[in-house]
Amino acid sequence: MITFTVNGSQQSLDIDPSTPLLWAIRENLQLTGTKFGCGVAQCGACTVHLNGQPVRSCVTPIAAAQGALVTTIEGLESAEGDLHPVQDAWIAEQVPQCGYCQSGQIMSAVALLEQNANPDDAAINSAMSGNICRCGMYGRIRKAIKRAAGESVVGVFDPKANNPQEASNV
């Protein structure tokens, strides 16, 4: 029997202790926001927090979660139901396309900002290098992290400015 806390609620699972945390979360607890991408810790889609640290849940045995605190994407909202500032920034920058990798991206970004309130580009590269986005939204992820960190967002294209010079001659 593995006993651990997921998003603030205590869980006990009677399963093979070598079962990856990913499948316990998705199948036993039916929290499907955490995704399966590769199963070999190369893509980051399965990223969750284990005692506050980002881990790839596809290669983390459930036994490692014994007595631990696990946070998934479903656990980022506040008790009042408000989105986490990183989630808000993700909406503001219109980050997701297909959206499949974004739970993992957000969990990595939240962990980064908890350790480094003002990450520079190198810190972002380092913290986010394990998360693949096949839709290629890296530029928007970078902007959203900086937005969430409270930095001014410097972009080459501001959609709200509507690119008047090029877009006006319709």
Does 45 participate in binding other proteins (rule CB under 8 A)?
yes
Contact flag: residue 136 with other proteins (CB under 8 A): yes
Backbone φ and ψ for 72, nearest 5 degrees, come out as -110, 175
CA-to-CA separations, 36 to 15, 25, 65, 76, 102, in angstroms, rounded: 19, 11, 18, 19, 12
Listing DSSP states for 109-168 in one string gives HHHHHHH-SS--HHHHHHHHTT---TT--HHHHHHHHHHHTTPPPP-S--GGGT-HHHHS
Calculate ∠ Cα 48-72-11, nearest 5°: 110
Q: What is the phi-psi region of residue 163: left when phi exceeds 0, alpha when psi lies from -120 to 50, beta otherwise? A: left
**42 belongs to the binding site for other proteins (CB under 8 A):** yes
Interface segment toward other proteins; rule CB under 8 A; list 49-57, 63-71, 118-126: 118-126
Candidate list 2, 4, 6, 37; residue touching other proteins; CB under 8 A: 37
Q: In 3D, which of 107, 124, 19 has the Cα closest to residue 62? A: 19
Stretch that binds other proteins, among 49-57, 63-71, 111-119, 128-136 (CB under 8 A): 128-136
If binding is defined by CB under 8 A, does position 34 make contact with other proteins? yes
Nearest approach, Cβ of residue 68 and other proteins (Å)? 19
Rounded to the nearest whole angstrom, what is the least distance from the CB of residue 66 to other proteins in the complex?
18
Q: Which residue from 83, 114, 115, 118 is in contact with other proteins, where contact means CB under 8 A?
A: 83
**Closer Cβ to other proteins, 53 or 162, answer by number:** 162
From the list 25, 33, 28, the residue with the least C-alpha distance to 14 is 28
Enumerate binding residues for other proteins (CB under 8 A).
15-16, 19-20, 23, 27-28, 30-40, 42-43, 45, 72-74, 76-77, 83, 87, 90-91, 94-103, 106, 124-126, 128-129, 131-142, 156-157, 159-160, 162-163, 166-170
